[in-house]
């Protein structure tokens, strides 16, 4: 065996993406809000790039000629900033020094716009869970020792509002502090269920009670049973039987074993049913009542409008995406005999970058529009008759239609929204698997999900439909679906099995 160093020559074919292609891919996968932010950043860093606010403007590239109509119509744009012959008389060195002095908005002086018009107030951020609870703690008059324990408990409250032990890594980092503070160590023993709260010291018990008295009710509970009890205790005239069920028969309640609960508590099944109905007012997610996440705003990229009965077209929305163009004043610097080579190289570099960015933004718009038109063609019944007519469709179907790679279609649909006659939808929602039928056709999973939801909503609660009964009902509706598929879809809809949906009348 020869293990020496050898020199070999060979040929192989590989595809390398150009910077232009990488930029186009990056912009295509952005949603409209991310694109707007990226454009703003590009406008701030590239003086050759500016917003085009003329009503009928087009995205122009380096090869696009200067439109004579713009000058004739008297539009206030960059073409008018340079009089004939000015490029031969202007002191470009001084101009470049003045033009690039303001790095934050290099072309703002050229536009002659009042900077106050561009100001937008920053949206206020919602308070976090811990901030809301600490604000309530400030209103309580308690000894410093108890306040310190409550502050530690607040840091242990998760986004769902429940208490949980400190993270293991955090415990390892703070082992010395916990060992030096017996109160904190005792709190961790309670949270890790190594000690009952009833057996803890008075300061620790009091700290738990203080936290659990905060709003929203149920905050600071260690489990669902305690969460429900905290809320029930704070509701005036709440059913004593419902509280007894929570205290003594919670495990049976989770399985809806009404007969077992009635026998254990010495009451009738009807009384148990009535008490359980009162529990419906209790929230299993107390943390959801604290809005600690920023509101996500959905901005549709396009709209499907009906031009005639049964005829639709795609209209791109561009009010949130500014039009872009090359600044003519800086571009004409390349033709100036008085400009230095260094200045021309700088402008040429920025010009190429601006032109590439404009083409990438335009390519994003055209690709999304192309994909949406293909979706409109494939899913015409959805737009004409409603969501229940959504057909099975995969990325490859649209990729074949628009002659693009499925990965390109995926980027063009993920995070992009369209305003339809039936509401706002993300483009990827139009893609769904289907269940094959005997005649070779396929039924969309969305239609099956809606049918299962309707069947369960209209069932007799005293005799709920089993998975096999739902399968038979779908068969009568012309949809052949396997029972295991029905069970999978039922779980996706978060519908309980028949035995847990049964109620006693």
SS (H, E, C) 122-133: CCCCCCCHHHHH
31 is a domain residue: no
Boundary of a domain, candidates 254, 287, 320: 287
Residues 420 and 454 placed together within one structural domain of the fold: no
Residues 318 and 442 placed together within one structural domain of the fold: no
Residues 272 and 149 placed together within one structural domain of the fold: yes
Contacts of 178 (CB under 8 A, 6+ apart): 171, 184, 185, 188
Residues 279 and 340 placed together within one structural domain of the fold: no
Q: Tokens 């340079």 correspond to what residue?
A: 82
296 is a domain residue: no
Contacts of 222 (CB under 8 A, 6+ apart): 162, 163, 191
259 is a domain residue: yes
Residues 155 and 242 placed together within one structural domain of the fold: yes
157 is a domain residue: yes
d(CA 6, CA 166): 58
Dihedral class, residue 403 (left if φ above 0, else alpha if ψ from -120 to 50, else beta): left
168 is a domain residue: yes
pLDDT, position 49: 86
- Other Cβ atoms within 10 Å of 90 Cβ, number: 18
- Residue 439 belongs to domain with CATH number: 1.10.10.60
Strands 302-308 and 417-420: parallel
The number of residues in the chain equals 505
138 is a domain residue: yes
Boundary of a domain, candidates 287, 321, 345: 287
- Reported pTM: 0.53
Note down pLDDT in tens along the chain; length 505 residues.
Answer: 556 677 778 787 766 777 888 888 888 888 888 888 898 898 888 888 888 776 544 333 333 333 333 334 434 433 333 344 444 444 544 444 444 433 333 333 333 333 333 333 333 345 778 888 888 888 877 788 888 999 999 989 888 889 988 655 444 445 555 557 888 888 898 998 899 999 999 999 999 999 999 988 999 999 999 999 999 999 988 999 999 999 999 988 887 788 899 999 999 988 988 888 888 888 888 887 775 555 566 778 889 999 988 899 999 887 777 888 888 887 787 788 887 888 888 888 988 998 999 999 999 999 999 999 999 999 998 899 888 788 888 888 899 999 988 889 999 998 899 999 888 888 988 887 667 666 666 677 777 888 888 898 888 887 888 999 999 998 888 888 888 888 888 888 878 788 767 765 5
* 113 DSSP 8-state letter: -
Residues 492 and 449 placed together within one structural domain of the fold: yes
Residues 225 and 266 placed together within one structural domain of the fold: yes
pLDDT, position 439: 66
> How many domains, the chain?
3
pLDDT, position 201: 92
Residue ranges making up the domain that contains 416: 307-380+404-430
Residues 135 and 279 placed together within one structural domain of the fold: yes
CB 371 within 8 A of CB 396: no
Residues 260 and 147 placed together within one structural domain of the fold: yes
Phi, psi of 307 (to 5 degrees): -85, -25
Dihedral class, residue 126 (left if φ above 0, else alpha if ψ from -120 to 50, else beta): beta
CB 334 within 8 A of CB 401: no
Residues 159 and 241 placed together within one structural domain of the fold: yes
302 is a domain residue: no
The CA dihedral of 335, 341, 342, 348, to the nearest 10 degrees, is: 40
Phi, psi of 126 (to 5 degrees): -65, 150
Strand partners for 435 = 443
414 is a domain residue: yes
d(CA 8, CA 114): 66
Residues 449 and 362 placed together within one structural domain of the fold: no
Strand partners for 419 = 303, 424
Q: Which residues of 267-301 are buried (b: 16+ CB within 10 A; e: fewer)?
A: beeebbbebbebbeebeeebbeebeeeeeeeebbb
Residues 210 and 342 placed together within one structural domain of the fold: no
């Amino acid at each position: 065996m020869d293990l020496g160093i050898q020199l070999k020559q060979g040929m192989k074919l590989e595809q390398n993406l150009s910077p232009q292609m990488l930029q186009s891919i990056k912009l295509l996968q952005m949603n409209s809000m991310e694109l707007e932010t990226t454009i703003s950043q590009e406008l701030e860093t590239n003086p050759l790039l500016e917003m085009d606010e003329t009503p009928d403007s087009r995205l122009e590239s380096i090869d696009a000629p200067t439109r004579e109509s713009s000058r004739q119509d008297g539009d206030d744009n960059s073409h008018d900033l340079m009089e004939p012959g000015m490029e031969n008389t202007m002191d470009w060195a001084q101009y470049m020094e003045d033009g690039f002095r303001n790095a934050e908005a290099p072309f703002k002086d050229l536009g002659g716009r009042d900077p106050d018009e561009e100001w937008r107030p920053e949206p206020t951020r919602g308070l976090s869970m811990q901030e809301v609870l600490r604000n309530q703690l400030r209103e309580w008059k308690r000894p410093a020792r108890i306040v310190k324990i409550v502050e530690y408990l607040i840091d242990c409250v998760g986004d769902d509002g429940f208490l949980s032990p400190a993270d293991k890594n955090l415990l390892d980092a703070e082992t010395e502090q916990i060992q030096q503070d017996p109160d904190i160590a005792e709190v961790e023993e309670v949270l890790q269920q190594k000690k009952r709260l009833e057996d803890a010291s008075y300061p620790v018990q009091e700290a738990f009670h203080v936290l659990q008295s905060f709003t929203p009710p149920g905050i600071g509970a260690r489990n669902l049973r305690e969460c429900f009890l905290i809320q029930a205790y704070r509701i005036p005239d709440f059913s004593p039987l419902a509280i007894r069920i929570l205290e003594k028969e919670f495990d049976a309640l989770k399985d809806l074993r009404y007969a077992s609960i009635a026998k254990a508590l010495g009451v009738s099944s009807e009384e148990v049913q009535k008490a359980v109905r009162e529990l419906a007012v209790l929230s299993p997610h107390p943390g959801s009542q604290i809005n600690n996440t920023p509101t996500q705003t959905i901005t549709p990229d396009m709209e499907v409008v009906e031009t005639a009965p049964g005829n639709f077209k795609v209209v791109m929305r561009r009010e949130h995406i500014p039009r872009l163009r090359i600044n003519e004043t800086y571009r004409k610097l390349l033709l100036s005999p008085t400009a230095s080579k260094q200045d021309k190289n700088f402008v040429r570099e920025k010009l190429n970058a601006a032109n590439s960015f404009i083409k990438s933004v335009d390519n994003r718009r055209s690709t999304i529009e192309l994909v949406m038109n293909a979706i409109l063609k494939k899913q015409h019944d959805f737009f004409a008759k409603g969501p229940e007519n959504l057909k099975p469709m995969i990325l490859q179907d649209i990729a074949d239609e628009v002659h693009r790679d499925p990965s390109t279609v995926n980027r063009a649909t993920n995070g992009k929204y369209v305003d339809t006659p039936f509401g706002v939808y993300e483009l990827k929602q139009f893609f769904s698997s289907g269940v094959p039928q005997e005649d070779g056709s396929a039924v969309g999973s969305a239609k099956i999900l809606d049918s299962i939801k309707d069947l369960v909503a209209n069932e007799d609660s005293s005799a709920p439909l089993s998975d096999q009964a739902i399968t038979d009902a779908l068969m009568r509706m012309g949809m052949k679906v396997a029972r295991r598929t029905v069970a999978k879809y039922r779980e996706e809809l978060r519908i309980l099995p028949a035995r847990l949906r049964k109620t006693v009348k």
